Amino acid sequence: MEYNNSNQITMVSVERIDKGLKISYRPMLETLYYCPGIKINETPQNIEISFVRCDIKNTCPVTLKANHAAEQGIDYITIENNNKPVFAKFKDSTLRLSAEN
pLDDT of res. 52: 96
Q: pLDDT for 55-87, tens place per residue? A: 999 999 999 999 988 778 899 999 987 778 899
| Domain range annotation of the chain | 2-96
- The single-letter code of the amino acid at 71 is E
Question: Which of 67, 69, 68, 63 lies closest to 89, judged by CA?
Answer: 63
DSSP H or E stretch at residue 96:
strand 94-98
- Average pLDDT over every residue of 38-56: 94
pTM of the complete model? 0.88
